[in-house]
Structure 1
Amino acid sequence: MLRRLVKSLTNGHSHTGVTKDTLFDPIPADCDLKCHSCTIKYPASFKIEEDADLWQTSDGWATHILIATGKSDWVRNVDHEKGSIMEALSKAKKPTNGKLMVSASNMCPPPEYFTETPQPTTCIILPSWMQVENVTPNDVNELIDKFISPAPTTTTPMVSVAADDPPDEAVEIISKGANEIAPAPASPSTTATAPQKNSVGENGLVARKTDTRDSQGTNDDLSLTSAMSNLSVASRVTQNAAELAASSYLKSNECPHDYLILLCSHKHRDARCGQSAPLLLKELRRQLQPLGLYRDLDDYRPGGVGIYFINHVGGHKWSANMIIYRKKAGQGIWLARVKPNDIEAIVRWTVLDGKVQPEKIRAGFDRCKGLTSW
């Protein structure tokens, strides 16, 4: 009730202090963002709401699970599908690490999905990029306890540091909490001790220590201690998650793709989604194939872009909705009002470079910056 009241008073927008430009870098203003060779168009009847500001028009999430169903359209509410994992998750205990977004997808389930009861299928958990095999509705508590609740979330810190960074680099560590960046302390100019190596934690978490430390101690020491403490906690969480996953009877591995693009195709919720998703997929394939990045549903080669249809995500009046996950960058980017002639720019700038058209972004997170839109 309180949440709905706040959203009504703020026109549906939350206030985190994060702006479009601080969350994701904008595409350069002088770029031509339309694909002039694109011949694909939406039907003349395809009408959407064009005026409202899209920024922060969706709720946040901690983890996102994709469930293979082999279908591109579903009953109106997928958690009403009898005997499905979606139904089982809706009735199970909630994860302890925050809100779980559940999406049925057109990922290919194993053959047993169509012949056995209960139906074993494949799930991908994001942003941990963990793929869990042969999950049935009876396994949902195991899935939550061993793979979802312990997993890193959209607000779990992550930073990648180049291997050739100089050892005297100041500490550069992110996120004491959601929507905050811990500032890098300046290197003291006093007596130095021997250089210290980078401290590398699980899941790409890295702290860079300076080799110039005041022997008497400074405020920078406190910042370093605090930053290292945050890294240590995050590293332990990730290590515990790996240990729990390894102890499960469910088989798991890392999702092989470097990028995922999710397109709403839920025709039973909105006809425009059933129209837009196949057309956008066709243009995505045209743009990605020359780059060697396109992956079919049954193509599990390492790297590349996996593209899946998913059920209702909300905001269909702003179709088409597209959620992009970038593994190495630790980002999730939710776009709307996507048209076929936007795809060339989205592939070039958003998928590959993490830059966005500000007027198309609804929500997102960046674990390297320690920022979310919610």
Structure 2
Amino acid sequence: MFRRLVKSFTTGHHNTGITKDNLFDPIPADCDLECHSCTIKYPASFKVEESADLWQTSDEWATHIIIATGQSDWVRNVDHEKGSMMEAISKAKKPTNGKLMVSASNMCPPPEYYTDTPKPTTCVILPSWTQVENVTPNDVNELIDKFISPAPTTTTPMIDPEAVDGVVKEGKEIQPPQPLPAPAPRSRKNSLSEVGHMIKRTRTRDSVVSNGDASLTAALSNLSIGSRVTQTATELAASSYLKSHECPHDYLILLCSHKHRDARCGQSAPLLLKELRRHLQPLGLYRDLDDYRPGGVGIYFINHVGGHKWSANMIIYRKKAGQGIWLARVKPNDIEAIVKWTVLEGKVQPEKIRAGFDRCKGVTSW
């Protein structure tokens, strides 16, 4: 509680008006989901803290790196694993663009990871959505210098291409967008039969921030965004000897599965994955660990993120919307609403949100 009070005074949340109720649009009050269709239950021994307010119970982060280890459980502190990327990052210089959150994951590393020394593996860097291949602990400084420090962060505004066109023609500097007022909750009813229409509408909305072409990218490279300059994934790749490309998925869901830190995480992650698969497969959105078809939802188990007493923790990244949404106290019967409203629409149950950012609105929870 004391930490949260200090944070509220040092970050100015009491003046910004950003709250758990308006950072993201709320799920409609008359949500008509048939949650009783979920037959998966947590064990009877699965008890979590239910009374505390989850809002702002996590620290801010600028960049999040997901490291492939092929495991779903790890030693208590993953940066103590000898010869690992996690250890190398913990000992390396800090990125210049803010706090780096590091997560080991069950993402599949290349076969050489199990035979070569040092271990070459795969990393996904968010929110730039850059996937770097065959990176070893010896490459950590290159990774930080070329892919993390110059990259957009959770607080880097996303630029509307139409605004850029006008700026390019007039030779002006691009200014970051101002935070938008939170819209009032809307009341409406939808069934799962409407999800296809919702996906189309979501992609249309998201395309506002992703329709640029090669000429726009070239123009952006010569413009400053506020007080800092960022680079695209393509430009970052061209400047490094490490091979990289854009992460193919449109959404990522990260589930804490770190059993050595808390047994509840080892119990909850597989059950939530099963329920996520049940709802995503009929929509053609589910992606297995080795399924890199464009689009869809990639789901990874990750190590300790903090707040195990509020298990299960889930972090959702939405590429085209420029959003990151951290939920807690997630139960299997919440998954239908999370898929329909949070993953596809960016809407949340306010009582479940711990933190998040929206680069289109230019707002964060911190």
Root-mean-square deviation (Å): 2.9
**Equivalent position of 1:53 in the other structure:** 53
* Shift of residue 10, structure 1, vs aligned partner: 6.7
In 2, Cα distance between equivalents of 1:79 and 1:20: 32
1:294 aligns with 2:292: no
* Shift of residue 325, structure 1, vs aligned partner: 0.2
Contact 1:13 1:56 in 2 (8 A): no
Q: How does 1:310-329 map to 2 (within 5 A)?
A: 310-329=302-321
**Equivalent position of 2:137 in the other structure:** 137
* Shift of residue 14, structure 1, vs aligned partner: 6.0
**Equivalent position of 2:246 in the other structure:** 254
36 and 14 in structure 1: CA distance in 2 versus 1, 3 angstrom threshold: farther
- Counterpart of 1:181 in structure 2: which amino acid? P
In 2, Cα distance between equivalents of 1:304 and 1:313: 24
In 1, Cα distance between equivalents of 2:86 and 2:359: 27
In 1, Cα distance between equivalents of 2:323 and 2:307: 21
Instruction: Flag structure 2 segments of 5+ consecutive residues without an equivalent.
Output: 164-173, 182-207, 214-219
In 1, Cα distance between equivalents of 2:236 and 2:337: 40
Range 32-41 or range 331-340, more displaced: 32-41
In 2, Cα distance between equivalents of 1:43 and 1:283: 15
Contact 1:157 1:205 in 2 (8 A): no
Q: How does 1:159-170 map to 2 (within 5 A)?
A: 159-160=159-160
Q: Percent identity?
A: 82
15 and 48 in structure 1: CA distance in 2 versus 1, 3 angstrom threshold: farther
**Equivalent position of 2:273 in the other structure:** 281
* Shift of residue 364, structure 1, vs aligned partner: 0.1
**Equivalent position of 2:22 in the other structure:** 22
Secondary structure of the residue that 1:45 maps to in structure 2? coil
* Shift of residue 125, structure 1, vs aligned partner: 0.1
1:108 aligns with 2:108: yes
Range 114-123 or range 5-14, more displaced: 5-14
Q: Which has the larger radius of gyration?
A: 1
**Equivalent position of 1:237 in the other structure:** 229
- Structure having the higher helix fraction is 2
Contact 2:107 2:300 in 1 (8 A): yes
In 2, Cα distance between equivalents of 1:241 and 1:352: 24
**Equivalent position of 1:43 in the other structure:** 43
* Shift of residue 232, structure 1, vs aligned partner: 3.4
Q: How does 1:1-374 map to 2 (within 5 A)?
A: 7=4, 15-16=12-13, 17=16, 18-32=18-32, 35-160=35-160, 175=176, 180-181=178-179, 232-234=223-225, 237-239=229-231, 242-374=234-366
77 and 279 in structure 1: CA distance in 2 versus 1, 3 angstrom threshold: same
**Aligned length in residues:** 321
* Shift of residue 32, structure 1, vs aligned partner: 3.6
* Shift of residue 22, structure 1, vs aligned partner: 2.4
290 and 355 in structure 1: CA distance in 2 versus 1, 3 angstrom threshold: same
- Counterpart of 2:356 in structure 1: which amino acid? G
In 1, Cα distance between equivalents of 2:250 and 2:48: 31
In 2, Cα distance between equivalents of 1:252 and 1:305: 20
- Counterpart of 1:64 in structure 2: which amino acid? H
* Shift of residue 15, structure 1, vs aligned partner: 4.5
Contact 2:96 2:149 in 1 (8 A): yes
The normalised TM-score by structure 1 is 0.79
Range 140-149 or range 16-25, more displaced: 16-25
Secondary structure of the residue that 2:108 maps to in structure 1? coil
In 1, Cα distance between equivalents of 2:118 and 2:179: 45
The normalised TM-score by structure 2 is 0.81
In 2, Cα distance between equivalents of 1:109 and 1:323: 21
In 1, Cα distance between equivalents of 2:281 and 2:254: 18
- Counterpart of 1:300 in structure 2: which amino acid? Y
Secondary structure of the residue that 2:90 maps to in structure 1? helix
* Shift of residue 157, structure 1, vs aligned partner: 0.6
The superposition leaves residues 54-85 of structure 1 with CA deviations (integer Å, 9 ceiling, x where unpaired) of 01110010000000000000000000000000
In 1, Cα distance between equivalents of 2:54 and 2:325: 13
In 2, Cα distance between equivalents of 1:160 and 1:268: 44
Range 16-25 or range 287-296, more displaced: 16-25
In 1, Cα distance between equivalents of 2:10 and 2:349: 19
In 2, Cα distance between equivalents of 1:268 and 1:261: 21
Range 7-16 or range 362-371, more displaced: 7-16
Contact 2:161 2:209 in 1 (8 A): no
Instruction: Flag structure 1 segments of 5+ consecutive residues without an equivalent.
Output: 164-172, 184-200, 207-228
The superposition leaves residues 29-72 of structure 1 with CA deviations (integer Å, 9 ceiling, x where unpaired) of 11145611110000000000001110111001000000000000
In 1, Cα distance between equivalents of 2:150 and 2:105: 23
In 2, Cα distance between equivalents of 1:248 and 1:29: 49
Secondary structure of the residue that 2:225 maps to in structure 1? helix
